[in-house]
Structure 1
C-alpha cells in the first residue's frame, strides 16, 4: 500500500504562474507595497490566491526581514474592564504602526505570568509589553535576553527595564483632595491587596496630612467587585463610618455602591465616593462615579513606541503620564447637564 503523502504547500511562485506575473508582484499585492500594482493585475493575483488557497508564510517572512511585525502583550485579567480597555488601545497603537498583537492572559498568577513570558519570547515577536501583577516583576524567564520589553501600567521604576505608567501618587492625591475640598473631614480608603504601601495609598495619606486631617479607616481587599462589596460592608456597616472614601479601582467602587445600597445608605448623601481608573464601567453607575482616570490611550501609545524604539542606552527610561480627575455625582458635585 502506498504511503500517503502530505499535500505540498502552495507557494508564491505557484500564485505568480497562475496569475501570469512575477513573484515580486505577488509580494507587492500581499504586503500592499512597497511598489504599486495596477488594479487589474492586483485583482488577478488576489483571484489566484483565492483559487489556490495560498497562505503567506509569516515565519519565512520574519526570517527574511528580521521582523515578525508582531508584538506580545501580557495582561493579568481580561475580565477586568481596565485591562481589556488597555489591551484594545495597545492593539490600536500597534496597528497604527503596522504591527499585530499576540495577547496572553496571566490570570493574575505569578507562575503563569512567567510561563506566558517564556512562550511569547519563543514566538519571534519583535517585543513584549507586560502588565504585571507584581510590583517588581520577574522577567528573567524570557528566552531571548535581547528582546525589547516594556512594563506597562507600573507605578514604580523597575531597574533595567523601560516602563510606562500613570502618575498614581498625584492622581490619588488629587482625588482625595477633591473629597477634602467638599468639606468631608473623614475619608476612608479601600485599597487593593498589593503587599506594600502603594502609590495610591501614599497619595491618599499625603492629601489628608496636607489638610491636617487624621488618616481615615483602611480596608484592604481584592481588586474586583466582590472585594469592593465586602470592603463596603466592613467599612460602612458600623456606627463609626467615614463620610467619604477613596477607592483604588472602579471595579471595587461598583461593589462598594452595592454594599451601600444593601446597608440603606446612598452616595453621595451618606458616603461620597471617588475611584481610581476611569473605565467605561464607571460612566454607567448610579450615581455616576467621580474618577481619577488613567489615560490608557496615551499610555498604550507610549508603551508601543517605547518597545519598538528600545535601545540599550534608554532601558531605564520611564514614561510617566498624568491622570485626570473626571467629575461625576458620587462625590457630591452637581454635574447635571
Structure 2
C-alpha cells in the first residue's frame, strides 16, 4: 500500500491509517506507540514503525494526555537560564525525568517575580504534571502554586516551606568550608562578593562567611554586593581593588561572579593566587576552565535533581513532605593557592 492510498484529503494521518498500512489493528498500533500494555511481536512492531515513518504519523498528545490522565510533562522555572549552574541543574532534572518517561518544559523568570508567577500560570494552563520552582527569592510566594492546584517542588531552596517538598543545600556550611580553607592559607582579611536577590533577603553564604571569620577571631572583612553575573563580578572586583586596605582573599557567592572578578584582577595585573586568592560557589563547568581554575564549593546537582524528580513524579510522590538539605563539596583547584 502506498502513502497516497492512505493519506487522503481528510487531513493528518490517523492511527487507523497506520493500522491499515501495516495490516494490523488500531490496538496494536497503540501498543507500539505507547510501549504497552501488551507486548507486540518484533516483526509486527517493525511493520508498524515502518508505517509510522512512511506516513509521517504523529500521535495526538492532547488525546493521549486525556486518556492517561497525565501530560507526561513537568515544568521547570529558573531565575536565569544563562547561569551555568541553572543550566546544569535543568539538564539534570530533564535527564532524571526522562528516565521516568516525562518530558520537560523550561521557563526563565529572568530574576522577575512577576514573570515567575506568569510562568507558573502558563505551565498550569498547559496541564503539566508538576512544577519545579527555582525561585528568584529565598522565601518564594507560593500562592500561585497553591492556586494552580498542581504538585510542586521548590528547587534550590534550603528552607522548609509549608505544604511543599523542597530540595537545596546548606549554604552556610558551604561558605564555612570556603572561608576556613582560605584561613588555612594564612589569610586574615577575607572579602565577600555577594549576589543581590530580588527580595533583598539575607543569603546563607553571607551568614556562613561572617560567622566563620568571627569564630576564628578575625575582623569582619569587606563585603560588596553585585548581580549574580560575570559583569556583576567584574564591577565588584574593580571596587575591591580600589580599597586602601584591599582583602588578600575573596569568597565569591557564585562562579559567574568569580569569573568576572578574575577578569578585573587580570586587567589590574593582580596575580591569582599569589597576590589575591579566590574561592567561589556552585561548582559549574566554567569554574574548571577559568584561569586559574577556581577552587569552588560544588552543589550536588545530580543528587538534587534526582531527589526533586522522585518527590514530584517518582516513587516518593504522595509521601509525607520532605525537605532535602544536601551537603556541598569543596573542590580544590589553583585559585586559592593550592598547587
Q: Which bracket does the TM-score occupy, shorter chain normalised?
A: over 0.9
Give the aligned partner of residue 314 of structure 1. 320
Q: Do the aligned partners of 1:295 and 1:322 also contact (CA within 8 Å) in 2?
A: yes
CA distance in 2, matches of 1:196, 1:50: 54
Q: Report SS of the residue matched to 2:21.
A: helix
Q: Do the aligned partners of 2:137 and 2:201 also contact (CA within 8 Å) in 1?
A: no
Give the aligned partner of residue 130 of structure 1. 133
- The answer on 1:289 being equivalent to 2:294 is yes
Q: 2:206 aligns with which of 189, 192, 201?
A: 201
Q: Report SS of the residue matched to 1:179.
A: helix
- The answer on 1:220 being equivalent to 2:225 is yes
CA distance in 2, matches of 1:81, 1:200: 19
1:267-306 per-position Cα deviation (integer Å, ceiling 9, x unaligned): 1111111100010000011111000000101101111111
- The answer on 1:109 being equivalent to 2:112 is yes
Give the aligned partner of residue 52 of structure 1. 55
CA distance in 1, matches of 2:160, 2:233: 28
Structure-1-length-normalised TM-score:
0.93
Structure 1 residues 50-59 or 231-240, which shifts more?
A: 50-59
Give the aligned partner of residue 189 of structure 2. 186
Give the aligned partner of residue 337 of structure 2. 332
CA distance in 2, matches of 1:321, 1:234: 34
CA distance in 1, matches of 2:74, 2:269: 49
1:149-206 per-position Cα deviation (integer Å, ceiling 9, x unaligned): 0011013222322110011110111111110111111111000013132101111111
Give the aligned partner of residue 149 of structure 1. 152
Distance apart, 1:144 and its partner CA: 5.7
Distance apart, 1:142 and its partner CA: 4.2
Q: 2:253 aligns with which of 248, 259, 284?
A: 248
Structure 2 residue ranges without an equivalent (≥5): 1-8
CA distance in 1, matches of 2:61, 2:146: 21
Q: For residues 49 and 28 of structure 1, do their structure 2 counterparts lie closer, same or farther at Cα, with a shift above 3 Å needed?
A: same
1:28-59 per-position Cα deviation (integer Å, ceiling 9, x unaligned): 21122333322221121122223333211111
Structure 1 residues 45-54 or 293-302, which shifts more?
A: 45-54
Distance apart, 1:13 and its partner CA: 2.3
CA distance in 2, matches of 1:330, 1:256: 12
Distance apart, 1:78 and its partner CA: 1.4
Q: Do the aligned partners of 1:232 and 1:260 also contact (CA within 8 Å) in 2?
A: yes
Give the aligned partner of residue 270 of structure 1. 275
- The answer on 1:78 being equivalent to 2:89 is no
CA distance in 1, matches of 2:287, 2:11: 54
Give the RMSD, CA atoms, in angstroms. Answer: 1.7
Give the aligned partner of residue 19 of structure 2. 16
CA distance in 2, matches of 1:111, 1:210: 40
CA distance in 1, matches of 2:99, 2:233: 37
Give the aligned partner of residue 98 of structure 2. 95
CA distance in 2, matches of 1:298, 1:237: 41
CA distance in 2, matches of 1:50, 1:238: 67
Give the aligned partner of residue 257 of structure 1. 262
Q: For residues 264 and 239 of structure 1, do their structure 2 counterparts lie closer, same or farther at Cα, with a shift above 3 Å needed?
A: farther
Q: Do the aligned partners of 1:122 and 1:143 also contact (CA within 8 Å) in 2?
A: no
Give the aligned partner of residue 37 of structure 2. 34
CA distance in 1, matches of 2:21, 2:307: 44
CA distance in 2, matches of 1:319, 1:65: 30
Structure 1 residue ranges without an equivalent (≥5): 1-5
Structure-2-length-normalised TM-score:
0.92
Q: Do the aligned partners of 2:124 and 2:148 also contact (CA within 8 Å) in 1?
A: no
Distance apart, 1:22 and its partner CA: 1.6
Q: For residues 237 and 264 of structure 1, do their structure 2 counterparts lie closer, same or farther at Cα, with a shift above 3 Å needed?
A: farther
In the comparison of the two structures, how many residue pairs are matched? 328
Q: Do the aligned partners of 1:148 and 1:310 also contact (CA within 8 Å) in 2?
A: no
